[in-house]
Amino acid sequence: MADIKFTEAHEYILVDGDIGTIGITDYAQEQLGDIVFVELPEVGRAVKKGDEAAVVESVKAAAEVYAPVAGEVLETNKELEKNPALVNEDAEGKAWFLKIKLADADELSKLMDRQAYDSFLETLS
Amino acid sequence: MTRKEPSAATRQNEGANPTYSGNRGLLIEEPLIFEVGDPAASGVDLPDAPETASRLGTLARRAPIGLPGLAEPQALRHYMRLSQKNYAIDLGLYPLGSCTMKHNPRANEKMARLPGFGDIHPLQPESTVQGALDLMALLTAWLTELTGMAGVALSPKAGAHGELCGMTAIKAAHDDKGEQRSVVLVPESAHGTNPATAALLGYGVRTIEARGDGTVSVEAVKAALGPDVAAIMLTNPNTCGLFERDIVEIAQAVHDAGAYFYCDGANFNAIVGKTRPGDLGIDCMHINLHKTFSTPHGGGGPGSGPVVFSEALIPYVPIPYLMRDGAMRRLVESEGAAEGRKPFGRLTAFHGQMGMFVRAMAYMLSHGADGMRQASEDAVLNANYIRASLRDVMSQPFGDQTCMHEVLFDDHFLEGTGVTTLDFAKAMIDEGFHPMTVYFPLVAHGAMLIEPTESESKASLDQFIGVLRDLAEAAKAGDEDRFKRAPQLAPRQRLDETRAARQPVLRWSAVEPAEAAE
Amino acid sequence: MRYLPLSGADRQAMLARIGAASIDELFEDIPENVRMGGLPNLPLHAGELDVERQLSKLASKNLPASSLPFFVGCGAYKHHIPASVDHLIQRSEFLTSYTPYQPEIAQGTLQYLFEFQTQVALLTGMEVANASMYDGSTACGEAVLMAHRITRRSKAVLAGGLHPHYRAVVETLSLHSGHGVTALEPIPNSGSDEIISAIDDETSCVVVQMPDYFGGLHDLAPIAAAAHERGALLIAVITEVISLGALKSPGDMGADIVVAEGQSLGNGLNFGGPYVGLFATRAKFVRQMPGRICGETVDAAGRRGYVLTLSTREQHIRRERATSNICTNSGLCALAFTIHLSLLGEAGLRRLAELNHASAVGLADALSEIGGVELVTPEFFNEFTLRVPGDGAEIIERLAKKGVLGGVPVARLEPDRPDLHDLVIVAATEVTSKADIAAYRSALAEVLKP
């Protein structure tokens, strides 16, 4: 069953078995403004929890996307290289950044679920 | 390259009176030189080259370059028309915080163009340029006197380059002592060049938070100091326009920890003749000649960023530097010739921005000690006058307090209006003012940083204040449209920066980018 | 004071609104023990006449290039600048405007930068160029850092013909940012073999100046091929930009990054600054290119316009992660460059280059006829190296006393290389007259008389 978790840095990870699909949340894309460029990691790279996994650039800001949990990069979303605007259109769906093979599923427990993330967002406004 | 006919897109169709040409009275649309020029045209008459046997071997150019040329009248028109689309200090107030857009005296330009300064080569025999070396020595003397420091590195080409100079000297000093220090302290309000410079040198950056009034406390610095800290980089007055009250204690704490104090001198204009960075405990400070000392901004450059140093760092100052050899002045241009010193290297070819040295010197001689002090006082007075005149209609992130040469507002007063700082800024354009610095420093939400400088008359300030009051009221009264559509009266309306970044077109091409596939 | 418009009454009124009794109250945040009591120990203000006299006195102690036969080059060159150039760059709207961060009221600056970028790309045979750097030497240093980022390696190989100041800048930057440098020996007329054999799998870039600082020419194509084979980049360096009017472009020879000193077009000698650095590269590397970049777009009314773009590489956004710490470009100097080049046009630039070359050929022929003087660089553009029978620096000094500024003794640039101290680098441009050449010839012959 697919399960979605969130970080305070506004990354999400959609977990299915031992594959995690990582991206940034709708809140994050709205904060950043029009996305103009996405820099994705190399397939095969190993990331630890908290490592910089990708960079997303808008006209006025650049933000690091951190790996919510450790794993190995299996695939990156080529669509974002051609069409960075997709991040604004469908951040939590089609505009995923990368997929990893989870190294340690226990790390997921430290992340927020949807309800906790939504509550967290309320504290920010 | 054929002349483009005015298209529907270039016709000004909003409002009344669209014109055929796309021009609007004196504001004339001007295509690119590639669209109006011709490779065979030229505004320069040159004689035929005499027949000689070429010494270019196989490397002579065969292919055309594709450059357009213009006869002189057309060239003048082209650039004149472009010039009309620019705002400038000579047109009006430029309230850009941290940029010090003061008047650029024309006498400076005249002096810089004296053949004895403008027409000398950096590698001529030193005996033929003693006057130039004298001028560099004079500038050194004035800068060290004004800052209370021991010496100057004149070669950095701009402020950020000066930062690199100062921080590299600090690194060299630590390296020389065998100290392994890997961290630089930077306040959260710092200008982006500060952490960028530290990172370039391989340092990690440790951020120091501001206290409630926007300044850095000595306690916060002490908490962040450690044996791994190489230096602190502070701006004083800081980027919120406030004098760092704890600066002397901070300097003491930094030195006690074996670290050095780098000061970003971008805001020096507030304190010239009022206090000296050397007395505050600073080890090095870059000076922006194009800010404090009036050399022109030129649409983005050239700048000049000499760095003043304390005794402790003088040995590491880069080449070239001035020295005396009997009655002559010379430049020390190699490490081998640097007796008694350990220069960290060379930052640029030749000796520095001589053209800007002359201009800055003309400014300093004109103002003198009394004029420069008066300039600082007027700069601070003008900023506080703006503060006092707007504090009831605009919001300040750290409460209302005396500022130095610049005053910081945030977007709190726009809450609920739907108008952002950006919209507010664009609406100022229609009123004939260049916007203030926006979204910097990052510590304020929707920051608006206003620095009038001492060059503004009271009448000019009053008009500016009147405009901002009117805009603040209009925003609160719900006139969102005026702000969202602004600017309407400038040569261009808001430009699509997203498109420019997503589909970069960074040059003219003979083939339209869309046709070129890819 | 002529630059300070506030009157005493103004100041009083303003203090009243602020609610301060005196200006000193506004400076109370300065700790008392560090407030200056009196004025700085410097002269008081002076009128324009006074200032002119003081500065003119200093200026008169210098020997301007136009006042005598002049042959000094080596990274800065004496050319004729059309009167329109200086006139236009003194337009207030160009001179006293700021960086075009508010593009709606800076289209003048942005459009000329777009034109400048295009001209630089065309000249260098590359796909994109930035809106200028401080100068050629710092552009060179930045190019090396860019190559390290792209290749993820950190060793640069510098050809021996790279201007010693440029070499020093790269070495300084590399030393303190933790990168490696292999600087090859400065030998006039060394071929490409030495450079090629220095490239290995750890090399990020090879930096080759062309024409080199001795004036010699190099075919970059085999060096580019060798570099690419090892996954390294070729950085071409040009200190005399007018050479591009007569020589193959580095882009055509396979360069990945081209940096140049643009001073020769539009900008006077100015004792070394301000100058203007040119920086161009391939489109695929554009996101790693430092400095400001201007791009085309449209405004809300659908009209074509220009903005600074790709700024997320820059320090004001990326901060620690910026591609460099650079803040300014060389705005007004870039404007002077682009105006001069627009006035010249393609035909004018080619002819100017021909004139430069012809001057230098005439000069080289005349000087190498003197006994003991040997032309060391058989192929050159407008600058060449002579071997003289004696100490080069001393001979240059004696020529100066005879009213000829004969060039740059290599000793000045390579003080630790006595084996090169009999070499002198000599430049000639379109301003070099037959009389100048004759004067040099006779002065040198006299100086060398036993």
Domains: count for chain B: 2
Whether C442 maps to a domain, the answer reads yes
Choose the final residue of a domain: B314, B330, B362. B362
Q: Residue C201's CB: how many other CB atoms inside 10 A?
A: 9
Q: Is B227 on the interface with C (CB under 8 A)?
A: no
For C149-183, the DSSP string reads HHHT--EEEE-TTS-HHHHHHHHHHHHHHT-EEEE
Q: Is A9 on the interface with C (CB under 8 A)?
A: no
Residues 6+ apart with CB under 8 A from B268: B277, B285, B287, B288, B291, B292
- Restricting to C residues 275-334, those with a Cβ less than 8 Å away from any Cβ of A are 287, 311-312, 317-318, 321
- H helix and E strand count, chain A: 4, 9
- Backbone region of residue B345 per phi and psi (left: phi > 0; alpha: psi in -120 to 50; beta: other values): left
Q: How far apart are CA C157 and CA C152, in angstroms?
A: 15
Task: Say if residue B389 is in the same domain as residue B300.
Answer: no
A85 → chain B, closest CA residue: B502
User: What is the residue extent of each domain of chain A?
Assistant: 3-118
Do the chains contact at A59 and B439, CB–CB below 8 Å? no
Whether C96 maps to a domain, the answer reads yes
- What sign does the dihedral B145-B149-B154-B159 (CA atoms) show? negative
Residues 6+ apart with CB under 8 A from A85: A34, A35, B502
- Best mutation target, C286, C310, C312, to test chain A (most A CBs within 10 A): C312
Written as six digits, the tokens of B106 are 């024309």
Whether C17 maps to a domain, the answer reads no
In degrees and rounded to multiples of 5, residue A110 shows phi and psi of -80, -5
Written as six digits, the tokens of B403 are 């500022």
Quick check: helix, strand or coil at residue A73? strand
In degrees and rounded to multiples of 5, residue B187 shows phi and psi of -70, 155
**Pairing relationship of beta strands B321-325 and B328-332 according to DSSP bridges:** antiparallel
Do the chains contact at C111 and B120, CB–CB below 8 Å? no
Interface predicted TM-score (ipTM) of this complex, two decimals: 0.97
Q: Is C348 on the interface with B (CB under 8 A)?
A: yes
DSSP 8-class letter at B290: T
Q: Is B514 on the interface with C (CB under 8 A)?
A: no
Chain A residues with CB-CB distance to B498 below 8 A = 33-34, 36, 59
Note whether C19 and B263 are within 8 A (CB).
no
Note whether C161 and C216 are within 8 A (CB).
yes
List the CATH number of the domain containing B488: 3.90.1150.10
Task: Say if residue C213 is in the same domain as residue C311.
Answer: yes
**Touching subunits for chain B (3+ Cβ pairs under 8 A):** A, C
Cα torsion through B106, B455, B158, B426, rounded to 10: -110
Do the chains contact at B299 and C99, CB–CB below 8 Å? yes
Note down pLDDT in tens along chain C; length 450 residues: 999 999 999 999 999 999 999 999 999 999 999 999 999 999 999 999 999 999 999 999 999 999 999 999 999 999 999 999 999 999 999 999 999 999 999 999 999 999 999 999 999 999 999 999 999 999 999 999 999 999 999 999 999 999 999 999 999 999 998 999 999 999 998 889 999 999 999 999 999 999 999 999 999 999 999 999 999 999 999 999 999 999 999 999 999 999 999 999 999 999 999 999 999 999 999 988 999 999 999 999 999 999 999 876 655 555 555 556 665 799 999 999 999 999 999 999 999 999 999 999 999 999 999 999 999 999 999 999 999 999 999 999 999 999 999 999 999 999 999 999 999 999 999 999 999 999 999 999 999 997
Note whether C98 and B296 are within 8 A (CB).
no
- What does the pLDDT look like over B379-400, one tens digit per residue? 999 999 999 999 999 999 999 9
The range of the structural domain enclosing residue B432 comes to 373-500
B–C: how many Cβ contacts below 8 A? 713
Task: Say if residue C252 is in the same domain as residue C295.
Answer: yes
Q: Is C343 on the interface with B (CB under 8 A)?
A: yes
Choose the final residue of a domain: C340, C359, C374. C340
**Which CATH fold would you assign to the domain A3-118?**
OB fold (Dihydrolipoamide Acetyltransferase, E2P) (2.40.50)
Strand order in the sheet with B229-235: B151-153, B307-309, B284-286, B260-264, B229-235, B183-187, B204-208
Of residues A37, A60, A64, nearest to C317 (C-beta): A60
DSSP 8-class letter at C222: H
What global pTM score does this model have?
0.95
CA C59 to chain centre: 23
Note whether B44 and C81 are within 8 A (CB).
no
Q: How far apart are CA C265 and CA C81, in angstroms?
A: 7
The range of the structural domain enclosing residue C422 comes to 69-80+345-448
| B506 residue type, one letter | L
Which residue has tokens 């405990």?
B281
List the CATH number of the domain containing C294: 3.40.640.10
Domains: count for chain C: 2
Residues 6+ apart with CB under 8 A from B516: B509
Peptide bond into B237 cis (omega under 30): yes
Note whether B348 and B357 are within 8 A (CB).
no
